[in-house]
A and B are shown apart, each in its own frame.
Chain A
Amino acid sequence: MARKASPARLVIALSVAAVLAVFLLYTSIAGGGNPSIAPSALQGRTGDVQLAGRVVGPVSGDAHSGGLRFRLEDIGGTARSRVAVRYTGSVPDLFKAGRHIVIDGRLRNGVFVAEPGSMITKCPSKYAPKQSGDSV
């Protein structure tokens, strides 16, 4: 029995449209995410950002009272890029001076105040130093 145009095609097309509508719905409610920047780019920025950098000591304070204080500098950058950070919340195991971390928060009065619990440290296996005398 011949059909003019299969209704199934129409339904599939509508389904695809529904899926796309879900995407559009999300972007209209939630907007975009946080920009991920290096400490040297933090100067003058307001609003929530994600900082990605290297921890520079001395590390002082207590993350569960008063805040953990340390500085963050650009990965592969200089001392000029350093930013003071105050962090509260859970501190990941791998955290220490020299680690690369990612942290959310915003700049307030010259100090980057972190979103509690937002710190993520990177697995250190990438930091194997290249030894001199390697032969390929």
Chain B
Amino acid sequence: MPELGRAALVVTLGLAVYALLAGAAAARLGRRRLAQSAQNALIAAFFTTAIASVVLVAALLRHDFSFTYVARTTSEALPTPYTISAFWGGQEGSLLLWLLVLTGFGAAAVRLNRRWARDLIVWVVPVFAAVATFFSFLVVAVASPFVTQAAPPDGAGMTPSLQNPYMLAHPPLLYLGYVGLTVPFAFALGALLSGRLDERWLIATRRWTLFAWTALGIGQLLGAHWAYVEVGWGGYYAWDPVENAALMPWLVATAFLHSVMIQEKRGMLRVWNVLLVILAFSLSLFGTFLTRSGVVNSIHSFTQSSIGPWFLAFIGLTVAVSLALVFWRLPQLRSPTKLESPISREAAFLYNNLLLLALCLAILWGVVYPMLSEAIRGEAVVLGRSYYDFFLRAFGLPLLLLMGIGPLIAWRRASLRSLATTFRWPTLVGLGAGVVLLVLGAGSSLPGLVAYTFSAFVFATIVMEFVRGTRARKALGAASWPGAFSSLMARNRRRYGGYVVHASIVLLAIGVAGSSAFDSVAEAKLSQGQSLAISGYTLVYKSLDERQSANATEIRATLGVSRESDDLGTLEAGKNAYTIEEQVSNEVGIRSDKLTGEDLFVIAEQIYPDGSVIFRVFVKPLVNLIWLAGLVFLLGSLVTLWPDRREQRRLVARAGEVGLPATR
């Protein structure tokens, strides 16, 4: 069967090359049937990649260790869900997943837009095909998942820390995000190549971008949650290069989602938007490169393989070609509309873009600095956590504040008087909250206090917007308050869905500020019966137990938790020793307080033969707001993504007036 997989991938490569060449020729020469043929090739490439994927998954499920990849990433005893997840767990399989999602999205995007944007699609097909050619070349010639060997009796197994539900969902979601950014990129290049610089490329890709951005965001949160509960060092984000690799394109995509609104409303920033989408895609490729090439010291590095130079070359080519296209079309992209006032919604969105990009570039600099300093000075210099924290605060806090200001400023020009009226109430709320928090002791961390104050301000603006909007709808004749609210949401999905997303970012900011600026830590070596006190909690080390599970020996220390005189139950922390993989993993104990969102986080650092244990205990205030923020973020994105019938009708009518087909 590996021959089938290998052959399917070779066919995919052939289809991709054909789609690239035939598609480009068809677009250049204006040949309808050739264009259709190229489209078919792109769609067929998805099916052949799917066949290759099925072959790999089948081999995994069969525990067919004659596939080198299967032997390297799984073992007989591995539970089935994790066996399936080994598909994306290793280098070659993850590249195949990239290709699968890429061809899938390409086929769907092209098919959905094939009629109303036909003159645009003819150029989008070869761009997609070019990216598909690269990835299919990699899986055919450089990192094939279908390499075979003499089958060993058992596989090497999967790293225990990867065997949990978060790791099932984290990589696929990230891939949906990374690859999803290819769609707006391909349409942007298609628009540049075809000269069709009207808004259709934006409209066609708006939901794709939103979807990719949401997937990337949720994927990162899942990764952070995994790091928090599984790796268990007490944190959720380490500014590791591979973590940053996902954050950077997400930040740029956030900027893009905002500046696109300016182009829609005012026709401005067309060059900027194209550049942003090129940057987002390039960063997504760069992130993939970082994860695989072993170029940076990271706990995630897949392997120091030969794949790095190929990625670097492809990124270089992509950036060069894209920039050349932008330069070529610059005269047509320029719009006559000018920014009228530095105090306007356009300006607020521009500041937002500036800050997001500045943060992204600061992170990028931190990531490439070791490589650059090694190339220039012969020695890799690594920038530490304090570097990233500084810039997160320097740019993130103003961004937080802007989130409350932007939606409430008028377009074009806002008078200072109207600003004073609009922001009076939220400013009072913010200042009031700040004073209360100061009294409660939040002055111990200035950035934390500022984050809280800004969050209160932004939250007040969001509540105000919802209240005012609902009241306005009620005044227009809605039957009831809930009715007014739901019709408000239905008619203004983007705006109010956006507000929900902003609310989730506020929750995230509060959670991050609380758990990083106001946390406490204590460490002690305890014998049975001894206790440890931290932030009002008292923990008593009660007993030590050992038990056997399917593939590991589990040692657990039980601690009794109490606060003041309330008994809060028990907590277990310890270690698992995995037999086949010969590895030990930390199993932390977490007690989440439902009311305050605070976590009591216990690590059994070291367990001695005499039964004494070194415990490291954290108290992390408000940390659970971070995970709650993820749910709210998802909700907000869903509202914004939801199809809007009215908008659809409008677009169809507009297309009809120009003679474009009414159906997509």
Q: Which residues of A contact B (CB under 8 A)?
A: 6-12, 15-16, 19, 22-23, 26, 30, 32-37, 50, 52, 62-65, 90-94, 96, 102, 120-126, 128, 131, 133-136
Q: Are A15 and B394 in contact (CB under 8 A)?
A: no
Residues of A within 8 A of B149 (CB): 131, 133-135
Q: Are B605 and A90 in contact (CB under 8 A)?
A: yes
Residues of B within 8 A of A128 (CB): 72, 156, 303
Q: Which residue of A lies closest to B158 (CB)?
A: A125
B80 within 8 A of A: no
Among the listed A6, A34, A94, A133, which residue makes an inter-chain contact with B382, where contact means beta carbons less than 8 Å apart? A34
Residues of B within 8 A of A93 (CB): 161, 231, 575, 583-586
Residues of B within 8 A of A121 (CB): 299
Query: Given A26-B390, A62-B606, A12 and B302 touching (CB < 8 A)?
Result: no
How distant is A46 from chain B, measured CB to nearest CB, in Å? 15
B570 within 8 A of A: no
Determine the distance from Cα of A124 to Cα of B301 in the docked complex, in whole angstroms: 9
Query: Given A23-B362, A120-B299, A122-B298, A133 and B150 touching (CB < 8 A)?
Result: yes
Since A125-B90, A131-B149 are in contact, a sample of 6 more A-B pairs with Cβ atoms closer than 8 Å, ordered by chain A residue number, is: A8-B344, A19-B358, A35-B379, A90-B616, A93-B584, A134-B148
Among the listed B71, B233, B339, B395, which residue makes an inter-chain contact with A6, where contact means beta carbons less than 8 Å apart? B339
Among the listed A30, A35, A131, which residue makes an inter-chain contact with B381, where contact means beta carbons less than 8 Å apart? A35
Most chain B CB within 10 A, of A35, A93, A94, is at A93
Determine the distance from Cα of A19 to Cα of B356 in the docked complex, in whole angstroms: 11
Determine the distance from Cα of A31 to Cα of B370 in the docked complex, in whole angstroms: 14
How distant is B157 from chain A, measured CB to nearest CB, in Å? 11
Q: Are A8 and B370 in contact (CB under 8 A)?
A: no
Residues of A within 8 A of B344 (CB): 8
Question: In the complex, which residues 165-212 of chain B have their Cβ closer than 8 Å to any Cβ of chain A?
Answer: none
Q: Are A36 and B370 in contact (CB under 8 A)?
A: yes
B384 within 8 A of A: yes
Lowest 5 A-B CB distances belong to which pairs?
A: A11-B342, A33-B383, A8-B339, A126-B303, A36-B380
Among the listed B161, B301, B358, B387, which residue makes an inter-chain contact with A122, where contact means beta carbons less than 8 Å apart? B301
Contact with A along B479-510 (1 / 0, CB 8 A): 00000000000000000000000000000000
16 contacts between A and B (CB under 8 A): A8-B339, A8-B344, A12-B342, A30-B387, A34-B382, A34-B384, A36-B380, A36-B382, A37-B379, A90-B616, A92-B233, A93-B231, A93-B586, A133-B149, A133-B150, A136-B147
Among the listed B341, B358, B369, which residue makes an inter-chain contact with A8, where contact means beta carbons less than 8 Å apart? B341
User: Main SS of chain B's interface residues?
Assistant: mixed
Query: Given A128-B156, A133-B150, A135-B148, A6 and B347 touching (CB < 8 A)?
Result: no
Q: Are A15 and B351 in contact (CB under 8 A)?
A: yes
Most chain B CB within 10 A, of A10, A63, A135, is at A135
Q: Which residue of B lies closest to A76 (CB)?
A: B304
Q: Which residue of B lies closest to A12 (CB)?
A: B350
How distant is A64 from chain B, measured CB to nearest CB, in Å? 5
Q: Are B144 and A136 in contact (CB under 8 A)?
A: yes
Residues of A within 8 A of B616 (CB): 90
Determine the distance from Cα of A134 to Cα of B71 in the docked complex, in whole angstroms: 12
Q: Are B585 and A64 in contact (CB under 8 A)?
A: no
Residues of A within 8 A of B298 (CB): 122
Determine the distance from Cα of A56 to Cα of B391 in the docked complex, in whole angstroms: 37
Residues of B within 8 A of A10 (CB): 342
Determine the distance from Cα of A136 to Cα of B142 in the docked complex, in whole angstroms: 10
Q: Which residue of A lies closest to B383 (CB)?
A: A33
B450 within 8 A of A: no
Determine the distance from Cα of A10 to Cα of B341 in the docked complex, in whole angstroms: 10
The size of the chain B interface, using a CB distance under 8 A, is: 65
Determine the distance from Cα of A23 to Cα of B300 in the docked complex, in whole angstroms: 28
Query: Given A63-B606, A128-B72, A34 and B381 touching (CB < 8 A)?
Result: yes
B97 within 8 A of A: no
Contact with A along B16-45 (1 / 0, CB 8 A): 000000000000000000000000000000
Q: Which residue of B lies closest to A130 (CB)?
A: B68
Among the listed A6, A96, A125, which residue makes an inter-chain contact with B89, where contact means beta carbons less than 8 Å apart? A125
Question: In the complex, which residues 371-405 of chain B have their Cβ closer than 8 Å to any Cβ of chain A?
Answer: 373, 379-384, 386-387, 390-391, 394-395
Residues of A within 8 A of B89 (CB): 125
B560 within 8 A of A: no
How distant is A25 from chain B, measured CB to nearest CB, in Å? 8
Q: Are B72 and A126 in contact (CB under 8 A)?
A: no
Among the listed A35, A123, A136, which residue makes an inter-chain contact with B301, where contact means beta carbons less than 8 Å apart? A123
Most chain A CB within 10 A, of B231, B301, B362, B380, is at B380
How distant is A82 from chain B, measured CB to nearest CB, in Å? 20
Residues of B within 8 A of A26 (CB): 387, 390-391, 394
Q: Are A135 and B147 in contact (CB under 8 A)?
A: yes
Among the listed A19, A30, A52, A91, which residue makes an inter-chain contact with B354, where contact means beta carbons less than 8 Å apart? A19
How distant is A52 from chain B, measured CB to nearest CB, in Å? 6
Q: Are A126 and B302 in contact (CB under 8 A)?
A: yes
How distant is A6 from chain B, measured CB to nearest CB, in Å? 6
Q: Are A30 and B386 in contact (CB under 8 A)?
A: yes
How distant is B123 from chain A, measured CB to nearest CB, in Å? 32
B547 within 8 A of A: no
Query: Given A64-B605, A133-B149, A8 and B342 touching (CB < 8 A)?
Result: yes
Q: Are A102 and B605 in contact (CB under 8 A)?
A: no
Q: Are A102 and B297 in contact (CB under 8 A)?
A: yes
Q: Are B297 and A36 in contact (CB under 8 A)?
A: yes
Residues of A within 8 A of B575 (CB): 93
Determine the distance from Cα of A109 to Cα of B391 in the docked complex, in whole angstroms: 37
Determine the distance from Cα of A37 to Cα of B381 in the docked complex, in whole angstroms: 8
How distant is B387 from chain A, measured CB to nearest CB, in Å? 7
Determine the distance from Cα of A124 to Cα of B68 in the docked complex, in whole angstroms: 17
Q: Are B525 and A64 in contact (CB under 8 A)?
A: yes
Residues of A within 8 A of B584 (CB): 93
Determine the distance from Cα of A115 to Cα of B200 in the docked complex, in whole angstroms: 56
Determine the distance from Cα of A30 to Cα of B148 in the docked complex, in whole angstroms: 52
Query: Given A93-B583, A134-B68, A32 and B350 touching (CB < 8 A)?
Result: no
